[in-house]
Amino acid sequence: MHNPTSLLVTLTAALAALPEAQAAIYTKSSPVVQVNARNWEQLVAKSNYTSIVEFYAPWCGHCQNLKPAYEKAAKNLDGLAQVVAIDCDAESNKAFCGNMGVQGFPTLKIVRPGKNSGNPVIEDYQGQRSAGAIQEAVMSKINNHVTRVGDKELDSFLEGDKPKAILFTQKGTTSALIRSIAIDFLDVISVAQIRDKETAAVKKFGIEKFPALVLIPGEGKDPITYNGELVKKDMVKFLTQAGQPNPIHGTGKTTKAKKNKSSETVKEKPTAESKESTEAAESAVPSIVPISTITSLEQLAEKCLAPKSHTCVLVFTPGEAGEKAVDSLSHLNTKYVHGGRNTFPFIAIPSDSDAASTLPKALEFKDEANLIAINTRRNWWRQYSGDFSLASVENWIDAIRMGEGAKKKIPEGVIVEAKAETAQEEPTQATDPEPEIETDGPEEAKTLVETEVEIEYETQTEAEAESETAAPEAEPIAESEAEPKTKEDIKHEEL
């Protein structure tokens, strides 16, 4: 016969352990950085680094399933970007998560530094929940502070006594590794990239093999060529001859930091200021509703290039022009969302992503930054021409809404035949779902037709609506067939 006292002790111990087990999914030894409403501003909002943030609840089965892939991505992105998580079930974080627009778990958002410190650009991550897909999306969002320099610009770049670092490479793209190094030494060392075809620059520095990293310490000192392995920790150590890297976490001193004050230690702010920062973080509501980002060709095909897809507005985002276009569309998106207006989906496509690998060639884009509208259902597309200002882009969108302007026929091979649907894991609803209401209407997307305009505005389909309800516990998430790049693979690539 069981002893009642021993059973009570056992039950008490089990109940006492339960809150602790559910207190957080990620332990202190996890590569995932855990933040809360109080330190969000310092660790994420004011950071020089791009972050991906998981908003989760410990009781959420989908969050538990995501953990292995998320931690794998965190290990591989170490030194390149921050992989962050926040427990929205904690009482002190609930208001903050609500203000961030979190409605289900897990919710993933990419946060990258904006032009002004403490005012980052926040975008929903809508890609696959695999380590490889997360890595690819985050790396495409790492800000680029690397200056492209050719023979003609070299003398201008070398002016002044500020330390400089130059990567000589055969690649035309700027890798995530060199972009992350430029962030490490932002306002300390100016970082540039020079192609092998810039023969005068290559000859000036005696470069014989590629890639090659050269440090120019400044103050009249001779250039130093790096001879070590092309991994980040060794490259950073080499560059510290000219100045110390910035702190990993934000200090609010992005582009306005004074020259080479790297030896200073970061001190915590006074209590009163911390309190103000906390209150601001907890009550902060992102002022701009960011547009979606697509990085994979499969996502783009499913969303916009299927035979019966409605109008999509796509912006391909290299350089400053692309960023300006995204900014204008984000402001328009905010205006439409707050105004309760249905509109086309606005989608950003990073120029170095798989999603940008075929469409620009098929449509014969002449410029790097491009803004287009495409409607495969009616077999037309339109290209924007202008300065990407908010007013100009809005006028163009309005013209599409009214069916005005010349349209081009979509070339053969662009429209992708529909594939068999695969089940995807849906986020767990943050609160208990409302009972479903049966209607007599068809299970199709509703369409809003304005006067005699041929352009349709799609509203939420029943399938999408179901994603807002509680989903059954899913099996552990399977990785994609292609293994994600490891930390060392990333640190060697594309230099």
Place of tokens 């997360």: 134
- Bond from prior residue into 106 cis (ω within 30 degrees of 0): yes
Provide the residue range defining the domain that includes 202.
147-239
- Check whether residue 203 and residue 342 sit in a common domain: no
Domain membership flag for residue 83: yes
- Check whether residue 316 and residue 461 sit in a common domain: yes
Structural contact between residues 103 and 467, judged by C-beta atoms closer than 8 angstroms = no
Structural contact between residues 144 and 182, judged by C-beta atoms closer than 8 angstroms = yes
- Check whether residue 138 and residue 154 sit in a common domain: no
| Of 458, 462, 411, nearest in space to 439 by CA | 462
- Tell me if the pTM is above 0.75: no
Q: Which three-class secondary structure state does DSSP give residue 460?
A: coil
C-alpha separations of 389 from 373, 382, 396 in Å:
17, 18, 11
Structural contact between residues 361 and 421, judged by C-beta atoms closer than 8 angstroms = no
- Check whether residue 317 and residue 457 sit in a common domain: yes
Tokens of 182: 């430029």
In 10 A of CB 265, how many CB atoms?
5
- Check whether residue 462 and residue 314 sit in a common domain: yes
- Check whether residue 68 and residue 136 sit in a common domain: yes
- Check whether residue 60 and residue 135 sit in a common domain: yes
- Check whether residue 108 and residue 215 sit in a common domain: no
Structural contact between residues 55 and 32, judged by C-beta atoms closer than 8 angstroms = no
Domain membership flag for residue 471: no
| Residues facing residue 192 across a β-bridge | 147, 166
Q: Which helix (H) or strand (E) segment is 13 a member of? A: helix 4-23
3-state secondary structure 225-286: ECCCCCCHHHHHHHHCCCCCCCCCCCCCCCCCCCCCCCCCCCCCCCHHHHHHHHHHHHHCCC
Could you give the CA distance from residue 179 to residue 165 in angstroms, rounded to a whole number? Answer: 12
- Bond from prior residue into 290 cis (ω within 30 degrees of 0): no
Domain membership flag for residue 491: no
Could you give the CA distance from residue 265 to residue 378 in angstroms, rounded to a whole number? Answer: 60
Could you give the CA distance from residue 417 to residue 415 in angstroms, rounded to a whole number? Answer: 7
- Check whether residue 350 and residue 454 sit in a common domain: yes
Amino acid at 387: D
Q: What pLDDT was estimated at residue 487?
A: 57
Q: Which helix (H) or strand (E) segment is 94 a member of? A: helix 91-99
Could you give the CA distance from residue 194 to residue 211 in angstroms, rounded to a whole number? Answer: 10
Domain membership flag for residue 329: yes
Q: What pLDDT was estimated at residue 23?
A: 57
- Check whether residue 331 and residue 206 sit in a common domain: no
Going residue by residue through the chain, which has 495 residues, state the pLDDT in tens, using 9 for 90 and above.
445 444 444 434 443 444 444 557 999 999 999 999 999 999 999 999 999 999 999 999 999 999 999 999 999 999 999 999 999 999 999 999 998 989 999 999 999 998 877 789 999 998 999 999 999 999 999 999 999 999 999 999 999 989 999 999 998 889 999 999 999 999 999 999 999 999 999 999 999 999 999 999 987 889 999 999 989 999 999 999 999 998 876 544 433 333 443 333 333 444 444 444 444 444 444 457 788 888 888 889 999 999 999 999 999 876 666 778 888 888 888 888 777 777 789 998 887 788 888 888 889 887 666 899 999 999 999 999 888 888 889 889 988 888 888 899 999 889 987 554 444 445 555 543 333 333 333 333 333 333 333 333 343 333 333 333 333 333 344 444 455 666 555 554 557
Could you give the CA distance from residue 390 to residue 413 in angstroms, rounded to a whole number? Answer: 33
Structural contact between residues 129 and 477, judged by C-beta atoms closer than 8 angstroms = yes
Buried b (16+ CB within 10 A) or exposed e, 463-472: eeeeebeebe
| Of 120, 126, 109, 99, nearest in space to 45 by CA | 120
How many domains are contained in the chain?
3
Tokens of 388: 């990407």
Which domain CATH number covers 167? 3.40.30.10
Tokens of 212: 């090659």
Domain membership flag for residue 298: no
Structural contact between residues 455 and 401, judged by C-beta atoms closer than 8 angstroms = yes
In 10 A of CB 47, how many CB atoms?
28
Domain membership flag for residue 493: no
Buried b (16+ CB within 10 A) or exposed e, 430-451: beeeeeeeeeeeeeeeeeeeee
